[in-house]
Structure 1
Amino acid sequence: MSTEKKLQHIVIVGGGFAGFLLAKRINPEKFRVTLVDRKNFHAFPPLFYQIASSGLEPAAICFPFRKELRKLRHVRFHMGEALAVDTQKQILTTNTGNINYDYLVLATGTTNNFFNMPELRERVYTLKSTAEAIRLRNEILFCLERACTCADPESRRTLLCFTVVGGGPTGVEIAGALGEMKKYILSREYPEISPCDMRVVIVEGSDRLLQNMSTEASTKSRQYLEQLEVEVITGHTMKSFDGTYVSFDNGDKIKCHTLIWTAGITGEPLKGIPETSIGKGRRIVTDEYNRVVGCENLFAIGDIALLTEKNYPKGHPQVAQVAIQQSKLLAKNLNRNSFETPFRYKDKGNMATIGRNRAVADLPYLKLYGRPAWFTWMGVHLVSILGMKNKIITFLNWCWYYFTYNATLRLLIRPTRYPKRNEE
């Protein structure tokens, strides 16, 4: 215990790619670490859409913090939600108590941006967490089961209309998964439903899908989606959704039961962070060493951090590779107590998958499409998942589905009511 007191205390808020990997890289001879997260597991966001489409079980892409941290004697896990920070007294306030720190690292990621349409929060389905992915999976399966017993053709078509708003990687991937379900699975497992009654629509406000990728990748992704009978609408923005009709800026409307929102993200800075340290997209402004501007001993990494440089005047892309590289450099700087090496992002490319054998990949020196891109995407994601067991389960699931189009995970399981209890 006396040894712990002599070590400086680093508190990391957020157990995503940035926070979790940073905790593992901190020198145990110089620091003790507390990792704070509202969940007790690390999740793999790029595969949330596969949970939602019944392609993978949740446990395949989630890894318990305590299982990994038991090997790291200098790291403790604190399950709780960070609420505020006192940068003068160096105290982090959570819903389960206060934590004193010598250094505080914010790696809280981002949340959904509804673009001044707060009513959407109660009406749309999102894909920013494992719980949200499970909720969407349940909704998709519920709509299919209800459609099987629905006698009214109009109501059945409404139940089977899935609208995806947002043409980024997440939107393209969940739309592709739904398109595969319509084309290959519906007639086999839901014979009561005609595939013609199921409608999948993806809407993107700009002129093309996958804006952050090459024009060729955008064109190919649209082609692949249309092969899966997904309707692609570009150049129009959604104006409202009342629970039945999706309205667009050109006056068109789509009657649908399920709207999946993947259109934007925004930061959620902790209370106590000065407004002068918060930039565009509610991201926390940092210098090139990931130190929060205007605050002592406070750092931000990953999606929540806004670091501008010559090649990225609007900040770095909010992707896993940035978080991983920032965590590596910050650990290096903290461990040697010297901030001489600035952060420089090395872009390793972007990719997205649109169903079996359909993918696009923009790599630094190569562009891949179709089956080569799909196998590349699969390899990169398998390597990135934590835990050998998870890698094996995911690989076996993908192999089984690749050859059979048969997923055993289309289970509609909803949580039952908890017993009433007294809250302390």
Structure 2
Amino acid sequence: MTGNKETIVVVGGGFAGMNFIKRIDRDRYDVILVDRNNFHSFPPLFYQIASSGLEPASISFPFRREIRKMKIKPRFHMGEVKLLDIADKKIVTQFETIHYDKLVIAAGTTNNFFGIEDLYKYVFTIKSTGQAIRCRNEILDRLERASNSTDPDIRRKLLSFTVIGGGPSGVEVAGAIGEMKRYILHREYPTIKSDELSITLIEGSDRLLHTMSGTASRYALKYLKSLYVDVHLQKTMQSYRDNIITFTDGSTMYSEMMVWTAGVTGETFEVRGGELPTGPGHRFLVDEYNRVQGHDDVFVIGDLALHTDDLYPRGCPQLAQVAIQQARNLARNLNSDCMEHPFVYNDKGSMATIGRNRAVADLRHMHLTGFPAWFTWMFIHLISILGMRNKLVVLTNWIWAYFSYPTSLRLLIHPGRYPLRSRWGER
């Protein structure tokens, strides 16, 4: 740090954090990025890691490699932020204390279990690369164990998969497992009968993809059924214990593996020396310039920012495009040293894929389904991935998978346990 420039600390290196760092004037500001990982990842494709469609490295990009390309380089500090001290203008991680002049919080969201007791102990989630890898390993492990079993009842129990949540993530995960059932099972696991693997998608509302158009919902349901996914609408889960799902209407269902995609909530921090007001979902209340209410030196961008207006009375949707646009707008304002450009969200549409040639897309002036939507989805996601190598790897995998489902990515690799690492909570 030069000492004669203001220091901006950015918490979180996702879509919002990385776009802000790239566009902030580093001639004017010293920039420090803090993240619990040493890489940027691409959350829209976590489900493809979970279903063995892509390798983790193909949608991840080291922060230090990206920083190396910049003419005036920010600094990167790996650590999980535990404390925000507003009065003394510092953040505290498990490793160090970092002082700031301006703070930009772009930490994103985590899983929301809606107060269901101990649910996090029993379900699989895909909100990070590590969680997606864990989910992939569990699916592959169950397939291998079922293929060795001679008892059909045991095989059915091992291969009972349930996805909770009918939003884009839930639809994509269920569709990916459905593709494994339809196209992979008889080729690579011939001892398992197709009807022994069950995939159930549970959604609490009256349709899938509730934030998208009715056309998208109808086609998503159609595509999932073609992949042998059993969809239950207007079903709300109450508890999950001993592999039994209990619903609020009193009905129950057996499932040995549950993937939870039903909701998100903001990452939380201990705040000292002041108050950072929050709203629903632990999102920070911000003004039209992404300043936290009551603070001129603390900003929030991305999924954690909650600014309400007539168009979005519940805040902007928690989408990548919102994060990217907020980051660019905040950098523009700070570069000019004048908050003269209020944030206005430019909605470019939303999309979801349910497998090869099966996708839905709500664009600004049209609704796409089938192959056109799938091709559009691939193009948009491909250009959004960091790094030319990663783009080429993902494109190659997709092309190969399009013409031939066999892949070398279905590797069951369990990490070694020892030596013990105290940071992992091992004893």
TM-score above 0.5: yes
1:370–1:118 distance in 2 versus 1, CA, 3 Å: same
Give the partner amino acid of 2:34: V
In 2, are the aligned partners of 1:25 and 1:331 still within 8 Å (CA)?
yes
Q: What are the ranges of 5 or more consecutive residues in structure 2 without an aligned counterpart?
A: none
Corresponding residue for 2:202?
203
Normalising by structure 1, report the TM-score: 0.97
Find the aligned partners of 1:107 and 1:166 in 2 and give their Cα distance. Answer: 25
Corresponding residue for 1:362?
362
Find the aligned partners of 1:420 and 1:171 in 2 and give their Cα distance. Answer: 34
1:101 shift after superposition: 0.4
Find the aligned partners of 1:211 and 1:396 in 2 and give their Cα distance. Answer: 33
In 2, are the aligned partners of 1:25 and 1:328 still within 8 Å (CA)?
yes
> C-alpha offsets along residues 302-360 of structure 1, whole Å, 9 cap, x if unaligned?
00110111100000100100000000000000111100110000000000000000000
Report the 3-state secondary structure (helix = DSSP H, G, I; strand = E; otherwise coil) of the residue aligned with 1:383: helix
Q: Note if 1:170 corresponds to 2:165.
A: no
In 2, are the aligned partners of 1:87 and 1:295 still within 8 Å (CA)?
no
In 1, are the aligned partners of 2:50 and 2:132 still within 8 Å (CA)?
yes
1:275–1:100 distance in 2 versus 1, CA, 3 Å: closer
1:29 shift after superposition: 1.1
Q: Note if 1:305 corresponds to 2:305.
A: yes
1:269 shift after superposition: 3.0
Greater mean alpha carbon deviation, residues 246-255 or residues 198-207: 246-255
1:422 shift after superposition: 8.4
1:275 shift after superposition: 5.7
1:250 shift after superposition: 2.3
1:365–1:421 distance in 2 versus 1, CA, 3 Å: closer
1:268 shift after superposition: 2.4
Corresponding residue for 2:28?
30
In 2, are the aligned partners of 1:289 and 1:341 still within 8 Å (CA)?
yes
> C-alpha offsets along residues 28-82 of structure 1, whole Å, 9 cap, x if unaligned?
2100100000000000000000000000000000000000101233300000011
Corresponding residue for 1:216?
215
1:245 shift after superposition: 1.0
Find the aligned partners of 1:363 and 1:248 in 2 and give their Cα distance. Answer: 35
Q: Note if 1:122 corresponds to 2:118.
A: no
1:420 shift after superposition: 4.4
Find the aligned partners of 1:9 and 1:100 in 2 and give their Cα distance. Answer: 8
In 2, are the aligned partners of 1:269 and 1:284 still within 8 Å (CA)?
no
Corresponding residue for 2:63?
65
Q: Within 5 A, what are the aligned runs for 1:287-326?
A: 287-326=287-326
Greater mean alpha carbon deviation, residues 237-246 or residues 101-110: 237-246
Find the aligned partners of 2:422 and 2:63 in 1 and give their Cα distance. Answer: 28
Report the 3-state secondary structure (helix = DSSP H, G, I; strand = E; otherwise coil) of the residue aligned with 2:147: helix
Greater mean alpha carbon deviation, residues 388-397 or residues 69-78: 69-78
Q: Note if 1:52 corresponds to 2:50.
A: yes
In 1, are the aligned partners of 2:112 and 2:262 still within 8 Å (CA)?
yes
In 2, are the aligned partners of 1:61 and 1:385 still within 8 Å (CA)?
yes
Find the aligned partners of 1:201 and 1:269 in 2 and give their Cα distance. Answer: 32
Report the 3-state secondary structure (helix = DSSP H, G, I; strand = E; otherwise coil) of the residue aligned with 1:78: strand
Give the partner amino acid of 2:263: G
Corresponding residue for 1:240?
239
Report the 3-state secondary structure (helix = DSSP H, G, I; strand = E; otherwise coil) of the residue aligned with 1:118: coil
1:417 shift after superposition: 1.7
1:418 shift after superposition: 2.6
Greater mean alpha carbon deviation, residues 112-121 or residues 46-55: 112-121
1:24 shift after superposition: 1.3
In 1, are the aligned partners of 2:15 and 2:324 still within 8 Å (CA)?
yes
Corresponding residue for 1:349?
349
Q: Note if 1:88 corresponds to 2:87.
A: yes
Greater mean alpha carbon deviation, residues 238-247 or residues 40-49: 238-247
Report the 3-state secondary structure (helix = DSSP H, G, I; strand = E; otherwise coil) of the residue aligned with 1:135: helix
Find the aligned partners of 1:238 and 1:370 in 2 and give their Cα distance. Answer: 31
> C-alpha offsets along residues 117-158 of structure 1, whole Å, 9 cap, x if unaligned?
131110000010000000000000000001011232222101
In 2, are the aligned partners of 1:31 and 1:74 still within 8 Å (CA)?
no
Greater mean alpha carbon deviation, residues 91-100 or residues 168-177: 91-100
Corresponding residue for 1:371?
371
1:316–1:421 distance in 2 versus 1, CA, 3 Å: closer
Q: What are the ranges of 5 or more consecutive residues in structure 1 without an aligned counterpart?
A: none
Give the partner amino acid of 2:296: E
1:270 shift after superposition: 1.8
Number of corresponding residues: 421
Find the aligned partners of 1:420 and 1:95 in 2 and give their Cα distance. Answer: 18
1:353–1:421 distance in 2 versus 1, CA, 3 Å: closer
Report the 3-state secondary structure (helix = DSSP H, G, I; strand = E; otherwise coil) of the residue aligned with 1:232: strand
Greater mean alpha carbon deviation, residues 250-259 or residues 321-330: 250-259
Percent sequence identity is 55
In 2, are the aligned partners of 1:8 and 1:102 still within 8 Å (CA)?
yes
Find the aligned partners of 1:193 and 1:414 in 2 and give their Cα distance. Answer: 23
1:393 shift after superposition: 0.4
Report the 3-state secondary structure (helix = DSSP H, G, I; strand = E; otherwise coil) of the residue aligned with 2:419: coil
Give the partner amino acid of 2:223: Y
Corresponding residue for 1:383?
383
Find the aligned partners of 1:189 and 1:367 in 2 and give their Cα distance. Answer: 37
Corresponding residue for 1:333?
333
Corresponding residue for 1:251?
250
